[in-house]
Amino acid sequence: MYSYLKELNEIQRQAVETIEGPSLVIAGAGSGKTRVLTYRIAHMLNLGIHPANILALTFTNKAAREMKERIAKMVGEQTAHYLWMGTFHSLFAKILRFEADLIGYPSSFSIYDTQDSKNLIKTICKELHLDPQVYKSNEVLGRISNAKNNLITAKIYAGNFQIRETDKHSRKPEIYRIYEIYERRCKNAGAMDFDDLLLKTNILFDMHPEVLKKYQEKFKYILVDEYQDTNFSQYLIIKKLALSHQNLCVVGDDAQSIYAFRGARIENILNFKKDYPGFRLFKLEQNYRSTKNIVNAANSVIRKNKNQIQKNVFSEKEQGNKIKIIEAFTDHEEGHIIANMINDIRYSEHHKYSDFAILYRTNAQSRILEEALRKKNIPYRIYGGLSFYQRKEIKDLLAYFRLIINPLDDEAFKRIINYPKRGIGNTSLNKLLNFARENNLSAWQAAIKLNSENIGLSSAVIKKIHEFMGIISKFSAMINTGEAYETARQIAIQSGILKELYGDKTPEGISRYENIQELLNGIKEFTSTENDEGMKPSLVDYIQNVSLLTNEDNTKEEDNDKVNLMTIHSAKGLEFKNVFLAGLEEELFPSKFSSSNISELEEERRLFYVAITRAENQLFISYAKTRYRWGQLDNCVPSRFIRDINPDFIEMENALLSMKNFSKKHTNSIGNQENKAIFTGNSKNTQGDFKQKLKKLNNTSKVSSSNQNSNTKILNEIKAGVFVNHQRFGKGKVLTVEGVFPNAKATIEFDTGGKKQLLLKFAKLEIIKNNT
């Protein structure tokens, strides 16, 4: 008997040892799911199954990487190397590149990220003269994405009466046309969006049975993690691949299905028995993570949902503390209390910072929490948010890479044709793009014809365009052969990006420059380790990988001892000794977009369940009675989810007692007193904000905004009144705001100190004696 099998409980062991035939592993929260998956794969390898015959699909690169590392430890690097383990998107992108010519794509196809897709949709809507108020790129993309995930191509979409009726009903009857053009443009640009990677895989398998057969033979054993989060498109791919051997093991927990918003179908796991009648079922119900109290509380919540597989998750750890409910007056105070408690517990329980997590529903909540932690000098780390790969400077450089690899890539072309500035303005670009569109060409192809076609561009501009193209072409010759890091560095230099950023000595500019360096280092690192085929990856390999990477794939593990901040979604699969769950207010959690519809509300409740079950020892749930939203103070109602917890497992934490002074001060400053205003502002919007808010001020008494750049948090309270005069704020200039109010005169001066930041230089408030 293999020694690792002894580390498992009976059911886990059975799940690991049952290799043949379809199996469904229902893995409750904290039940050792990852362990079962890794051991199962290791076990298969020990039994002599070749790693190249195993396909293991995960939802994040991180999950795949970690699992691979653990398996490598058990069976050796060499063997683990040949496993096909990764996300749906990355693995099927790989297959699509192999088979690209069969579906009419270049194997060097680009992958459009969400931003690219939205931009393209905006362009199309503009061309069709559609009202951008009605046809919001977000919603349109949502419709298209939804269609693709259900295998509805543009052609089917246009021909489907019911879909068209739905669109007409929502006053967007033209979506089918947008979809059609969108699809054509992507094809012309040799580009796929995220959903295409799955859709085209399905199309490939449907149109070419011999190709499907090939992969069915290759992937004799298939494992899928987080099966409850698969969408229809992914479900079909798995079904097709598993058809001949039926050695399919899916792992998941219906109670943790939280991605319906992007097309995940909880039915996939609920209906597994219908698709694979001879399946074996393994229910992992023992929770090894949390105290009895937390597990029981979580159970009492999830019980409220109708749609689920019956199971009995239990814990054999100690009873543990009750869940503590914290009430705060404001969102700022909430952050303050949490920061205080982290310090207290860290001291009293000898916990590390990294034993704490603060979870929230929306990314927007993180800023206030950060602020509170910074004030107390508590180190923290934010997961998610704006990804490294979505920063402007990174996307700019990546766009160069993309265009070099695939010159048809229109979104990349548009992004960098005039960055850094080379005198090709919007007017010229639009002429070129119109010409391209009329002839159904990509921008690049159109630009080639500029010498023979007259489209009203001056010869100077044409020359500039061709110079730009010259740079790109020069590199496309060497991108496959050249040493990756050096090639990338040369591109950064010769494109002018490095010079442009080097010249910018503002803090933001310096940070951008450093980010570019970091990207280059990342390339160096990536291309220095050998890939599956035992070769050094080229720059092309890197680029084709990078579009599917997220923030978590870039963060380094060095700086360990930090409080973890993240959305509940990104906390899935993680665990912490102490968890703070912030912002438990109606309309925030559950989100106001979800509370009207039962199935969406159930998804929110599952999300709540996920949040609770992240905690090992202690869970705090907090809500604020008032919260700022769009610069306005809203009253909040405690979330219904708090009432969903069986009251036996919760207690009120009277954090306010120790916070009395803070609360008082704070409630004052947000306008409880008549004629009170708070001024702050950021570098770009200062004037607009001031003006707008002062306009409102004529008849109200509250004004607020805050300087988010600031090491200088400017909080100036001014007796409210009428705005008098100001000077526009700009880089390196001084902004003076002067106001005469019914009973006060205020002057505030901001100085940029040559930087883009606002520094408070001078503030004066004179109270005018009121004669009446």
Which residues face 287 on adjacent strands? 315
Whose CA is closest to 285, among 95, 33, 57?
33
Whose CA is closest to 197, among 290, 96, 280, 121?
96
Task: For residue 422, indicate whether it is catalytic.
Answer: no
Which token pair is 676? 């009170």
Task: For residue 225, indicate whether it is catalytic.
Answer: yes
Residue 646 binds DNA, judged by CB under 7 A = no
- What residues numbered 526-585 form the site for DNA, per CB under 7 A? 548, 550, 552, 567, 569-570
- 294: enclosing H helix or E strand: helix 292-302
Whose CA is closest to 584, among 353, 295, 293, 362?
362
Sole binder of DNA in the list 452, 728, 771, 772 (CB under 7 A)? 728
For residue 688, the minimal CB distance to DNA (Å) is: 4
Whose CA is closest to 369, among 563, 216, 546, 599?
563
DSSP assigned state of 744: E
Distance CA 285, CA 33 (A): 10
Task: For residue 34, indicate whether it is catalytic.
Answer: yes
Stretch that binds DNA, among 55-63, 205-213, 402-410, 652-660 (CB under 7 A): 55-63
Task: For residue 206, indicate whether it is catalytic.
Answer: no
Q: Please check whether residue 115 is in contact with residue 181, taking contact to mean a CB–CB distance below 8 angstroms.
A: no
Sole binder of DNA in the list 262, 381, 489, 761 (CB under 7 A)? 262
Q: Please check whether residue 342 is in contact with residue 563, taking contact to mean a CB–CB distance below 8 angstroms.
A: yes
Task: For residue 256, indicate whether it is catalytic.
Answer: yes
CB nearer DNA, residue 473 or residue 599: 599
Task: For residue 62, indicate whether it is catalytic.
Answer: no
CB nearer DNA, residue 331 or residue 653: 331
Task: State the catalytic residue, choosing from 14, 18, 34, 708.
Answer: 34
Angle at alpha carbon of residue 488, lines to 486 and 491, rounded to 5°: 110
Which residues face 84 on adjacent strands? 55
CB nearer DNA, residue 696 or residue 731: 731
**Chain position carrying tokens 């949502």:** 142
Task: State the catalytic residue, choosing from 437, 606, 614, 676.
Answer: 614
- Judged by phi (left if over 0) then psi (alpha if -120 to 50, else beta), residue 156 lies in alpha
Rounded-to-10 torsion of CA 664, 658, 563, 646: -100
Residue 754 binds DNA, judged by CB under 7 A = no
Q: What are the C-alpha distances in Å from 367 to residues 382, 386, 648?
A: 10, 12, 33
For residue 757, the minimal CB distance to DNA (Å) is: 12
CB nearer DNA, residue 649 or residue 679: 679
Sole binder of DNA in the list 23, 31, 60, 110 (CB under 7 A)? 60
Task: State the catalytic residue, choosing from 116, 195, 196, 225.
Answer: 225
For residue 89, the minimal CB distance to DNA (Å) is: 5
CB nearer DNA, residue 552 or residue 575: 552
Q: Please check whether residue 503 is in contact with residue 497, taking contact to mean a CB–CB distance below 8 angstroms.
A: no
Distance CA 465, CA 469 (A): 6
Task: State the catalytic residue, choosing from 113, 167, 195, 226.
Answer: 226
Residue 133 binds DNA, judged by CB under 7 A = yes
Sole binder of DNA in the list 684, 700, 762, 764 (CB under 7 A)? 684
Total residues at interface with DNA (CB under 7 A): 61
Amino acid at 146: N
Distance CA 158, CA 179 (A): 9
CB nearer DNA, residue 311 or residue 332: 332
Sole binder of DNA in the list 12, 428, 527, 564 (CB under 7 A)? 428
Sole binder of DNA in the list 39, 59, 182, 475 (CB under 7 A)? 59
- What residues numbered 359-418 form the site for DNA, per CB under 7 A? 361-364, 367, 384, 418
Distance CA 230, CA 267 (A): 10
Could you give the string, one character per residue 686-725, with x where binding to DNA holds by CB under 7 A and - elsewhere? -xx--xx------------xxxx-----------------
Task: State the catalytic residue, choosing from 256, 487, 544, 550.
Answer: 256
The stretches of 49-174 forming alpha helices (DSSP H) are: 61-75, 77-81, 88-98, 114-127, 137-149, 154-159, 161-169
Residues with catalytic roles: 33-34, 225-226, 256, 614
- Residues at the interface with DNA (CB under 7 A): 59-61, 87-89, 114, 122, 126, 133, 136, 138, 194, 258, 261-262, 361-364, 367, 384, 418, 421-428, 461, 548, 550, 552, 567, 569-570, 591, 593-594, 600, 607, 630-631, 680, 682, 684-685, 687-688, 691-692, 705-708, 728-731
